[in-house]
Amino acid sequence: MNTIPTVDLSDFLSGDANRKQKFVNEIGKAYREVGFVAIQNHGIDMQLVHNFYESVKDFFHLPLEIKSKYEIAGLAGQRGYTSFGKEHAKHSKAGDLKEFWQLGQYVGDNDPLKKEYPDNISITEIPEFNELGKNLYKNFEKSGSAILASLALFLNLPEDFFNDKILKGNSILRAIYYPPIIEEPASAIRAEQHEDINLITLLVGASADGLEVLRNDGAWIPVKTAPEEIVVNVGDMLQRFTNDVLKSTTHRVVNPPRDKWHTFRLSIPFFLHPVSSMDLSCLQNCVTENNQLHYEPITAGEYLDERLREIGLKK
């Protein structure tokens, strides 16, 4: 395998039972073996993606003193701006060569979950950024829910199993800026090898190459997709919930060749999280004689808190 598998979400949404089952089988097999897929006909508005990319680029090219006013202490990077080098991989102390912006869930003032979700931060210098980000967040939620519905069927669960668990979930839309490399990095790469925390991650095409996936034999393979495709991978929460039946694959973002150090890279992943109260205890039908129980019970909120501390965003 020198590339990740490709599946077509329109098969699942077609209304044709055979095409739907074909998608369930294909994505389930891919996530058992690889943990990453490229998805065609994903339903995300690519013009919206383009417009948001332009706003993101405008923001990260603002002077540092302007960006820094949006870095709010106490939010653990979960809203607003996080400056260069603050986040590191779980097993590394070297800060990744990136800075980023995060948008979170939108709930009304009277919503019971309001106390769990800080308000999103608005950028006054780029007013369109805020509405574009909100619209893209909702696009990602819709496509992500369809993918989880297919995985529910693959796991012999009701198709709507995840619906109430991701409704107003603690999902994050992250805009990442990897600036030009201006000197020999001491040890870090743009994003050190890691696994994602959440259920699934949806990633629209980055502005430059660099994403690599660790194959079972220890080889790193570059992730290459067509412009109209997105990449979707399993996160640690889903791996844990399925007792390792579905695979959270190690990945990284490597530095470009030296002759391209002067270039920057933008990336926009959507980390689909459940509500914090979701019980991540392993599914009983994923615990077998040949796959003994691997994890102790924990809620999604407890697990997220633990991981944010491990990667340096929370003290």
Greater model confidence, 130 or 183: 130
CA-nearest of 246, 244, 236, 243 to 284 is 243
Comparing 48-62, 70-84, 268-282, the range with the smallest average pLDDT is 70-84
Q: Are 44 and 228 in contact (CB under 8 A)?
A: no
The model's confidence at residue 91, banded by pLDDT at 50, 70 and 90, is: low
Q: Give me the pLDDT at residue 59, please.
A: 97
The correct answer on CATH 2.60.120.330 for the domain covering 43-310 is yes
Q: Strand, coil or helix: what is 237? A: helix
Closest CA relative to residue 9, chosen from 55, 50, 43? 43
CB neighbour class for 65 (10 Å; exposed up to 12, middle 13-18, buried from 19) = exposed
**Residue 1 — very low, low, confident or very high, per pLDDT cuts 50/70/90?**
low
Q: In terms of pLDDT, which residue wins out, 310 or 78? A: 78
- Predicted confidence (pLDDT) per residue in 164-195, tens digit: 999 999 999 999 998 888 877 766 666 778 89
Alpha helix (H) residue ranges in the chain = 9-12, 17-33, 46-60, 64-68, 127-154, 163-166, 236-241, 300-310
Average pLDDT, the chain: 91
Residues belonging to the chain:
315
pLDDT greater than 90 at residue 34? no
84-88, 189-193, 234-238, 266-270: least confidently modelled range: 189-193
Regarding predicted confidence, which is higher, 216 or 271?
Answer: 271
Range in 1-15, 208-222, 242-256, 277-291 with the lowest mean pLDDT: 208-222
Mean pLDDT computed over 259-281: 93
| Planar angle of CA 25, 26, 32, nearest 5 degrees | 90
Return the pLDDT at 70.
96
pLDDT number for residue 87:
74
Q: Are 299 and 276 in contact (CB under 8 A)?
A: yes
pLDDT digits (tens, 9 = 90+) for 132-143: 999 999 999 999
CA distance 283 to 301: 18
Residue 156 exposed, middle or buried by CB count within 10 Å (0-12, 13-18, 19+): exposed
The whole-number average pLDDT for the span 205-222 is 79
